[in-house]
Amino acid sequence: MKKIALALILTTNILFSQSGDPTCEIVNKINAVIQEEHIRPKPVDDSLSIFVFDNLINELDPSRNIFFKTEYDEMAEKYRTNLDDFILSNNCSFLADITSKYKESLLRTKKVLQKIQNEPIDYSKTDTIRFYKKSFPFYLKKENLEKVWLKKIRYQILDEIAELSDNLDSIKVNFPSIELKTKKLILSNEICRINTLLETNVKQEEKFYNFFCTYFDPHSAYFSDDSKTSFVASLSKEHLSLGMTVNLNEKNEIIVAEVDPNGPAYQTGQIKKGDQIISISNQKETLQVSCASLESISTLILSESNKSITLTLKRNSGKSFDVYIEKKVMKDEENSVFSFIVGKESKIGYIKIPSFYADLEGNSRKGCADDVAREVIKLERDNIKGLVIDLIDNGGGSMEEAIKLAGMFIDYGPLSIVVDRNQGKSIINDPYKGLIYKGPIVILVNSNTASASEFFSSILQDYNRALLLGSTTLGKATMQTILSLDETKNTDFLKITINKFYRVTGKSHQYIGVKPDVILPEFYENVYQRESNFPTAIKNDSITPSLKFKPYVKRALIDKLAQTSTTRLADNYFFNNIKEINQKIDKLINTPKAEIPMTLDAVFKQKKVVNSLWTEINTFNNENNPLDVYNSTVNQFLLGVYPNDKTINQYQIDNLKTNPYLNEAVNVINEFNAWK
């Protein structure tokens, strides 16, 4: 849930206007707002200091191969429990000190990599490598620096080579030439990555502000003007775009995947599907794709402040060429509501809601709720007998849109109880009298269903208005708003958690998630990060409600439908196999790994296990009979008017035809109609 309200509330900023340290000035402004507005303010003390310091160091040196242990110990002694004292005394020089030591360490590491680059690696030397799931203690000693990096590079080379072929004998025969090429590529990329970190003058201030914020809860965050603009744009189905999508190929190269005929990339006449992106420039900085982080590349491409960029591309290993592109406002098809009909005899409507996007400027009716209403009306014209609302992987969005949408599907009554920092309670009531649709509803949810999606689905579950089917949701039941830190500059902002919301029953799904009526497994369910995995997440509690509301049907009917569905799926091939594959994934990711020898045979064997599991996931097919999925009469007409939409429309249909969750949702609705 990411409700946006650009309020200018700071009357306290004058208290810090005399500070000579701009970093401390901003962090103290952040703290002033948090102490005044946050749902659960905490003191700035040693606990905060340890949290911020540890996160900063983990961000800078996640693999523990940049800082020496002596350097870490020195910084920890000076700063780990003292950042709170420095901050409160308006002295944030510690950040410059840590950054300076980081850059010195990067330069030192670069020299080691250059030495390794110029010397042969002895692969016959006996050695082992161990993998850690979480950050491990600092152990890097000065005398071991070259040894640690040599081991890392040696493993990376073997790992890359093991990926080249399924024939180990062939790899061994050609090992000398392959190794030479692979070593050059890996070391060049490592050195280039370090150069990028050194040359782009990456500031640690923004990371520092964010770690300060997330100490209070995982969803509070600092926004620069640029990051705020991009965040707000992400909540809309229309934003500045290049009009193309990219993906990573097997060589970790960024390749143009699709070019939208309506977009600026296509209109240059120079960009084609399959082109490789070599570098990206916004006229201020240039990122070489081969050695920049995916995060920095993504930021440069997606940032709303970068209204024009220059791409350096290569086609079919030919010469590189530059293309200048000016972004334009485009509809984001992947973030827009769409609908279909399933089945010819008992027609069931299907609506996918990718996010609770909103028109934050208030100039048009482009919000998620109005779009869903339009799709419902289209489906109703074809006399649907039930409705499936798909919230799988819907991470939330506008709270206002979720309230409007929930109100459309219940007749009248309270939707939620909101509690503020002073334990004051207010009721969110249905803004609409009546229902836009009166038939049965099944809502699909999973581990990535979060925030506004959880809010919406929990309301329909409590009213017995819908049966929920899928996996337990993320577990976020808090509200955020965005506040300016300085009403005169409007350059720094705080996304801050200001409320908790509770269900009409008085219970909350905060921290624990919304539990579906029919629980079905999903791939990676033991790997996905949930609210309870965040160390500063607000814990679950409940309140005593005094609300009256009228359920749509008796709970006994929902329970009976759920029990019948669970029984029907007990021996289902697809879902039982997901459970088996998840056990393998859990063993691979969550079980501590034993040391493996640093040999081609051992690395190849390890790679084969991982690849076979990945292949098993990607080639796993649903054995259910394909569903009959097609467009409503109105949407069929619209496709004739807008033929460019046919490609993505067919892609969506093909994905739904073998969707086992949708298949069971249709079974539930048909059963409900048979029992009426």
For residue range 3-50, what is the model confidence (pLDDT) as tens digits? 323 222 222 333 333 345 899 999 999 999 999 999 999 999 999 999
pLDDT computed for residue 134 by the predictor: 63
Query: Where is pLDDT greater, at 372 or 289?
Result: 372
pLDDT computed for residue 1 by the predictor: 31
Q: Give me the DSSP letters along 483-510.
A: EES-TTT--EEEEEEEEEEE-TTS---T
Contacts of 450 (CB under 8 A, 6+ apart): 1, 394, 395, 396, 473, 474, 475, 476
Give phi and psi for 656, each to the nearest 5: -80, -25
**CA atoms lying within 13 Å on the CB side of residue 616:** 17
Is the pLDDT score of 366 beyond 50? yes
pLDDT computed for residue 624 by the predictor: 64
Q: Judging by beta carbons within 10 Å of its beta carbon (0-12, 13-18, 19+), is residue 238 exposed, middle or buried?
A: middle
Is the pLDDT score of 629 beyond 90? yes
- DSSP three-state, residue 2: coil
CA dist., res. 537 & res. 514, Å (int):
16
CA dist., res. 602 & res. 116, Å (int):
23
pLDDT computed for residue 534 by the predictor: 96
The type of residue at 548 is: K
pLDDT computed for residue 616 by the predictor: 84
Is the pLDDT score of 133 beyond 80? no
Question: CB neighbours (10 Å) of residue 375?
Answer: 22
Q: In terms of Cα–Cα distance, which of 676, 669, 673 is closest to 342?
A: 669
What's the chain's average pLDDT?
Answer: 90
pLDDT computed for residue 359 by the predictor: 76
Banded pLDDT at 304 (limits 50, 70, 90): confident
pLDDT computed for residue 417 by the predictor: 97
CA dihedral of 119, 125, 126, 129, whole degrees rounded to 10: 20
- Average pLDDT, integer, range 224-239: 83
> What b/e sequence results for 493-516 when a residue is b if at least 16 CB atoms lie within 10 Å of its CB, and e otherwise?
bbbbbbbbbbbbeebbbbbbbbeb
**CA atoms lying within 13 Å on the CB side of residue 99:** 15
pLDDT computed for residue 13 by the predictor: 34
**Polymer length of the chain:** 676
Is the pLDDT score of 603 beyond 70? yes
Estimate to the nearest angstrom the gap between the alpha carbon of 417 and the chain centroid. 28
pLDDT computed for residue 303 by the predictor: 80
Q: In terms of Cα–Cα distance, which of 622, 603, 649, 667 is closest to 128?
A: 603
CA distances from 129 to 162, 163, 175, 590, 598 (A): 16, 18, 21, 18, 6
CA distances from 624 to 79, 349, 566, 573, 630 (A): 59, 19, 16, 9, 18
CA dist., res. 512 & res. 447, Å (int):
11
Query: Where is pLDDT greater, at 318 or 461?
Result: 461
CA dist., res. 582 & res. 579, Å (int):
5
CA dist., res. 372 & res. 361, Å (int):
19
- Helices 22-37, 205-214: crossing angle, 10 deg rounding: 20
pLDDT computed for residue 365 by the predictor: 63
pLDDT computed for residue 625 by the predictor: 74
| pLDDT tens-digit series, residues 261-287 | 888 998 999 999 899 999 999 878 888
Is the pLDDT score of 608 beyond 80? yes
Q: What is the pTM of this model?
A: 0.90
| pLDDT tens-digit series, residues 247-260 | 877 677 889 988 88
The type of residue at 322 is: D
CB 269 within 8 A of CB 192: no
Max avg pLDDT among 196-200, 294-298, 507-511, 579-583: 507-511
| pLDDT tens-digit series, residues 106-124 | 999 999 999 999 999 999 9
Strands (E), 305-397: 308-314, 320-326, 328-331, 338-342, 348-352, 387-390
pLDDT computed for residue 10 by the predictor: 28
With pLDDT > 90 as the criterion, what percentage of the chain qualifies? 70
With pLDDT > 70 as the criterion, what percentage of the chain qualifies? 94
